[in-house]
Structure 1
Amino acid sequence: MTLPSPRTALRRAARTAAVPRWKALGADSRAAASGAVQPRAEQPRAVLQRTARGGAHVWVLAVVVVMGLLAACGSEQNGAGNQPSSGGSQSRSIAGADKLAACPSVPSRPPVANALPDISLPCLGHGPDVRLSALRGPMVVNVWAQWCGPCRKEAPYLAELKKKAGGKLQLLGIDYADPRPELAVKFATEQQWDYPHVVDDEKATQQALKIAGPPLTAFVDQEGAVVYVHRGELTSQQQLDQLVREKLGVTW
């Protein structure tokens, strides 16, 4: 087989690469020749400008949507902040809680030696949290629970003590490790305990008062010091009255 000369090969390649004029004109030229009007192709710069404008619109829309979502979240948070807190000072919605004596507002005082533990406990009924270390006597603090049998037995003695001592003596109950606050409210109401009660459902007073379990009765003097702790059940009215006279010097 004889190979063509370089010059011949170049001529053949040129003829092969040549495109008829009507093909080279492309679709726009053919359309023009047929009389049809075709839209003018956009220049690259115009395409970029239009794309940029479209992208800006999308970006602005996205910003508006995000701002709307943030505003909605803010409204929800503000609404949640207006809801009553489950902790802190309690105004319990338990039936009968409004019949219990309200917890007093105790002024802030520095703890004294041998004072009640420096913790604040919520009120079983209504009123502010009570900081135990700020309490001053003479006072009887009784630790109880509605599920505690001995607590039920000594309950009448505490109610009678409050009636006899009147304003000469303060009483405070601590509802201790009690999983049923509604039953605690019912129990305190039935016993006619005409003095405030706080709630220690997490046993915060256990270590300081060395509570093995209720009942426990602490006697607090005028300076706020715990001068005596009676562990276990109070067996008679006479026993309780005598402890108040001896440990706190209160008579009636």
Structure 2
Amino acid sequence: MPGADRLKACPSAPSKPPVSNGLPDISLPCLGTGPDVRLADLRGPLVINVWAQWCGPCRDEAPYLAALAKSGKVTMLGIDYDDPRPELAVKFADAEGLAYPHVVDQDKAIQRALKVGGPPLTVFVDDKGTVAYVHRGVLTSRQQLDQLLEEKLGVTR
């Protein structure tokens, strides 16, 4: 896919047993380069953002997520959700400076487990792999994102 090499490669994570109240045991293909990512293997502090290139509010919150990624305070993963145009998703992530790995969920595999009504949605995962909090809807400021990181994961700026 054109431009996919400009996205951060998906990491390979060691296999871990799923945890209760953790991420679903689902593997999703990388939007850029790298292996498929099994969500249940991931541990935090981790912020997962569910987005799509056709989603206006996703564009609005992208600068806050890009700034968080640059800070290096938490691991981040994007999930391009229910998106019929992955080539536009690659373009969007690159243009917005979303310098963290992204996976693709065209078939809404995470919908039931994370109760996704639609993007945007941001998931906060602690160091044990437990989903500490799910923020539904758009993040409206960097301050809001920082506050959620502190309250839900104990991560401060």
TM-score range, shorter chain: over 0.9
Determine the C-alpha separation between the residues in 2 that align with 1:145 and 1:138: 23
Determine the C-alpha separation between the residues in 2 that align with 1:154 and 1:251: 19
CA deviations on 1:123-166 (whole Å, 9 max, x unpaired) are: 000000000011000000000000001101000100011122x1
Q: Where does residue 17 of structure 1 map in the other structure?
A: none
What does residue range 35-46 of structure 1 map to in structure 2 within 5 Å? none
Q: Where does residue 55 of structure 2 map in the other structure?
A: 148
- Aligned residues: CA RMSD: 0.6
User: Which one of 168, 178, 185 corresponds to residue 90 of structure 2?
Assistant: 185
Query: Unaligned stretches of 5+ in structure 1?
Result: 1-93
What does residue range 223-238 of structure 1 map to in structure 2 within 5 Å? 223-238=128-143
| Cα displacement (A) at 1:245 | 1.1
Determine the C-alpha separation between the residues in 2 that align with 1:191 and 1:233: 16
Q: Where does residue 76 of structure 2 map in the other structure?
A: 171
User: Which one of 41, 44, 49 corresponds to residue 134 of structure 1?
Assistant: 41
Q: Which has the higher helix share?
A: 1
Q: Where does residue 104 of structure 2 map in the other structure?
A: 199
* Paired amino acid for 1:182: E
User: Which one of 162, 173, 185 corresponds to residue 69 of structure 2?
Assistant: 162
Q: Which has the higher contact order (CA 8 A, sep 6+)?
A: 2
**Greater C-alpha radius of gyration:** 1
TM-score, normalisation: structure 1:
0.62
Query: Unaligned stretches of 5+ in structure 2?
Result: none
* Paired amino acid for 2:3: G
User: Which one of 221, 231, 234 corresponds to residue 126 of structure 2?
Assistant: 221
User: Which one of 89, 102, 109 corresponds to residue 9 of structure 2?
Assistant: 102
Q: Which has the higher strand share?
A: 2
Determine the C-alpha separation between the residues in 1 that align with 2:87 and 2:37: 20
TM-score, normalisation: structure 2:
0.98
* Paired amino acid for 2:65: L
Identity %: 73
After superposing on structure 2, the runs of 4+ consecutive aligned residues of structure 1 that deviate more than 6 Å are none
